[in-house]
Structure 1
Amino acid sequence: MDKDDLKLTSSEIGTLWGEYVNGTAVDMVNRYMVSIIEDEKIKALFEDAIQVFAEQKKQIKTFIKNEGFPVPIGFNESDLKTGAKRLFSDIFCLHYLHIMTMHGLLGHTASLSSSVREDLRRFYDSSGDDGMKLFHQTIDLLLEKGHFQRDPYFYPRSNPEFVSGQQFLNRFFGSKRPLAATEIANLSMNIKKKVMAKTLSIGFSQAAQSKEVRKFLKSAQDSADQQIQSLGKILHNDNLPVPMSWETEVTTSQDPPFSDKLMLYHIGFLLQASQGYHGAGLATAMRTDIVAEYEKIILKNLMVTKEWFNIMTKNRWFEQPPLAPDRKKIAKDK
C-alpha cells in the first residue's frame, strides 16, 4: 500500500478539523484588518497571510474530503461585515498578527507531532515554514516601528551556581529570592497574551450586538485585567518592567466588523490557548507564590470557559468536531 493511501487517524482528522476552524476565524479578522490598515508595510504582511492561508485552506479541505468527512463550516464572509468602521489601530493589528502567528506556529507543531502520513507531515512542514517567515517579518516590522516589547535584560554572573536549599522554592516562608530567567520569560509571555485578549475583548464588547455576548466580553475583559495585574505585580516587586497595555489602540467605534459568533469564538479560542501557556508557566515556576498564582488563574479561566461554552451552545454556534463511533448505541439500535 502506498504510504500516502493510508487512512488518516483520529488524531490527524482532529488536528485538520481544528486547523480549519481556527484558521477561518483568524482569516476573517485578517481580512477586516487589511481593509482598515493604512500603513503599506503592515498591509502587505496581512495580504501575504491571507494568501498563505487560502492555499492551506484548499489543502485541508482536500485532506478532509478524501477521507469522507464533511468539511467544517468554520467561519466565512457571512461572519464579516464589509465596510465596517475602524475598530483597531494599525499598530494593534500588527501586534495581533505577530501573536496569532505564534499561535499558528505552535498549532502546526502540535499537528505535526500527531501526524504519521507523509503527505500530511509535508503539509505541516510547509505551513510551519510559512508561519516562521511571517513570524520573523512581524518582529522585524515591530522593531522598525519601535513597538516591539523586549523582555527584561539580565547582568551576567561570573560563574555557574547551584541551588543550595529549600529557600529557592519558598516565598510564603523564609527569604524571597529574585525571579529566575525561566520564570520571567513565561510571566512576560503570559502577560502579553493577556494584554491582547483584553484589548480584543474591549473592542468586541463595543461592537457586539447581543447583550448576552457583550456581558460575557466585559467579564472576559475584567478577568484578563485581573490576571495582568497579578502577574505584573510579581515582576514589579522585583523591579522588572511589565509589558505595556494596548487599550488605547481601540477606537470608539460601535460598528460591528464581525458576527457575534466569530467574536465570541475568538475570545474562547484565546482562553483555551492561554491554558497551555499558563501550564508552561506553572511547569517552570519554582517559587511557591508564582505556582499559586498560576493555579488560581487556570481555575478562573476554566470557570470563564464554561460560561463561554454555555453561550456558544445555547446559540448553536459551537460546531461539533468528529466523534468516535458510539459502539453501545450501535449495538443497541441493531
Structure 2
Amino acid sequence: MSKQPLCSTEIGALWMTYQKKTVILRMIEYFRETAESTRARKLLDNMWKDLYPMVEELKHILQKEGAAVPIGFTEHDVNLNAPPLYINGFGVMFSRVLKEISMGMYTLHVTMTYRDDIIKYYRRLTQITHTYYYEFTTYLLEEGLLPRPTFINLPQSSAYITDKAYLKGTNILGHKRKLNTIEFGYLYHLIETNITGMQLISGFAQCADDSDLKRYFLKGQQLSKKMIAEATALLQAEDIQVPATPGGTVTNSTVSPFSEKLMTYCVYLLSNFGLGGQSFGAAFSLRNDLNATMSFLAKDVFEFARDGIHIMIANGWLEEPPSMDIHHLR
C-alpha cells in the first residue's frame, strides 16, 4: 500500500515547525557562543545537535513530497561574532522558555497529523523538548538562577464549592477570598515568563538600528512591565511575595546578534505564546477579577502582536504560509 500524501493540516504544521525550529537553531548558535560556563555551553550544544537533524529531516519530508521548503531563518540571521548581549544565565533561561513554547505547539500540531511517519516525527520532537526543558530547569535551579514558587501549607481536607460567591471572589462584607493554587500558578507563570521576555526585548531595543523597530521593542518592554506589575499587585494584595528571579542581565552592547527580521518574528512568537497562556489562565481561574485582568492584558498583547505583523509585512519579512490550493483527486 502506497503512503498517503501529506494532507493540508500536516503541511501547515510542518511549515510552522520549520519556521520555529530555524529560529531556535539560530538563537542557540549565538547563546552557545556566548555561554558563560562549560556546562551551559554543553547543554546548548547538545540541544543544537539533537534539533539540527530534525530540521534536515523535515526538509527531506517536504522535498520528497514535492513541496517547497520554507525559507525560515538562516545563517544570515545570526551574528556569531557579536559580543554578549545577555549574561547571568540568560541563554539557558530563554532556551527554557523556547522549550515551553515547543511543548505547546507540538501538542497542537500532533492533533493535526494523521500520517504515521509525521505522528512519529512529532513524538520524537516532543521527547527532545521534554528532555531539554528538564535539563535547563535543573541547571537554573542548581545555579541559583531560578526561584521556586511560593510554598504553602498542605491541604488537610477535600470539599466541593457550594456558594456562587466563590466566583465573585468576595463575600457579603466585600472581602476577597484567597487565591487558590491553580489561580496562583497562572499568575506566577505570567510573571516568570514576562521577566525573561522583558529582558530579551530590552536587548533587542538596545541594538535595533531602525527607529520604528526600536520604538516597537520599547513598547513591548513596557507591556511586559505592565503585565508583571498587574500580576504582582494581585499577589501582594494577598500578602503573597513573588520570589525575585536573579538570572538574566542585559549588557551595554549595541551590536545586534540577530537580524531585525528574526528579532521581530521572535517577539511575535512570544506574544502568541503569551496569549495562549493568558487564555488558559482566564479559563481556569474562578475569580471574576482575575478573568477581567487576564482579558484586558490579552487585548493589549493581541494588539501588540498585530503591530508586529504589520512591521514584518512592511519590511518583507513575513513568509506566506501555504495556501489551500485544493487538489481534486480523480
Of residues 29, 40, 43, the one that matches 2:41 is: 43
1:175 matches 2:175 = yes
The equivalent of 1:271 in structure 2 is 271
Distance (whole Å) between structure 1 residues aligned to residue 247 and residue 120 of structure 2: 40
Distance (whole Å) between structure 2 residues aligned to residue 138 and residue 280 of structure 1: 24
Distance (whole Å) between structure 1 residues aligned to residue 110 and residue 246 of structure 2: 33
* Pairs within 5 Å for 1:232-243: 232-243=232-243
Distance (whole Å) between structure 1 residues aligned to residue 197 and residue 318 of structure 2: 20
Distance (whole Å) between structure 1 residues aligned to residue 102 and residue 308 of structure 2: 22
Distance (whole Å) between structure 1 residues aligned to residue 135 and residue 308 of structure 2: 33
Asked if the contact 1:79/1:259 (under 8 Å) is kept, the reply is yes
* Pairs within 5 Å for 1:49-88: 49-88=47-86
- 317-326 vs 11-20, greater mean Cα deviation: 317-326
- Per-residue deviation, 1:312: 0.6
Aligned to 2:89, the other structure's residue is in SS state: helix
Asked if the contact 1:30/1:46 (under 8 Å) is kept, the reply is yes
* Pairs within 5 Å for 1:138-157: 138-157=136-155
The equivalent of 2:103 in structure 1 is 105
Distance (whole Å) between structure 2 residues aligned to residue 252 and residue 237 of structure 1: 35
The equivalent of 2:26 in structure 1 is 28
- Per-residue deviation, 1:90: 4.3
TM-score, normalising length: structure 2: 0.94
Give the unaligned 5+ runs of structure 2.
none
1:260 matches 2:267 = no
- Per-residue deviation, 1:248: 6.0
Change (3 A) 1:246 1:202: farther
Query: What is the one-letter code of the residue matched to 1:68?
Result: G
- Per-residue deviation, 1:149: 2.1
Of residues 79, 82, 94, the one that matches 1:96 is: 94
Change (3 A) 1:246 1:209: farther
Q: Encode CA deviations 1:161-207: one digit per residue, 9 max, x unaligned.
A: 22121221114773310001111111111221211211111001011
- Per-residue deviation, 1:307: 1.0
Asked if the contact 1:92/1:246 (under 8 Å) is kept, the reply is no
Aligned to 1:152, the other structure's residue is in SS state: coil
Aligned to 1:190, the other structure's residue is in SS state: helix
- 210-219 vs 89-98, greater mean Cα deviation: 89-98
- Per-residue deviation, 1:242: 2.1
* Pairs within 5 Å for 1:276-295: 276-295=276-295
Change (3 A) 1:192 1:293: same
Distance (whole Å) between structure 1 residues aligned to residue 109 and residue 150 of structure 2: 32
Distance (whole Å) between structure 2 residues aligned to residue 75 and residue 159 of structure 1: 53
- Per-residue deviation, 1:245: 4.9
Distance (whole Å) between structure 2 residues aligned to residue 43 and residue 175 of structure 1: 50
Of residues 129, 132, 135, the one that matches 1:131 is: 129
Query: What is the one-letter code of the residue matched to 2:120?
Result: R
Distance (whole Å) between structure 2 residues aligned to residue 18 and residue 77 of structure 1: 19
Asked if the contact 1:34/1:43 (under 8 Å) is kept, the reply is yes
The equivalent of 1:203 in structure 2 is 203
1:122 matches 2:120 = yes
Aligned residues: 325
TM-score, normalising length: structure 1: 0.93
Aligned to 1:169, the other structure's residue is in SS state: helix
Q: Encode CA deviations 1:286-332: one digit per residue, 9 max, x unaligned.
A: 111100001101111111112111111000100001011289xxxxx
Distance (whole Å) between structure 2 residues aligned to residue 132 and residue 68 of structure 1: 32
The equivalent of 1:332 in structure 2 is none
Distance (whole Å) between structure 1 residues aligned to residue 155 and residue 49 of structure 2: 47
Asked if the contact 1:39/1:90 (under 8 Å) is kept, the reply is no
The equivalent of 1:17 in structure 2 is 15
* Pairs within 5 Å for 1:179-198: 179-198=179-198
Distance (whole Å) between structure 1 residues aligned to residue 162 and residue 176 of structure 2: 14
Query: What is the one-letter code of the residue matched to 1:262?
Result: L
- Per-residue deviation, 1:68: 2.0
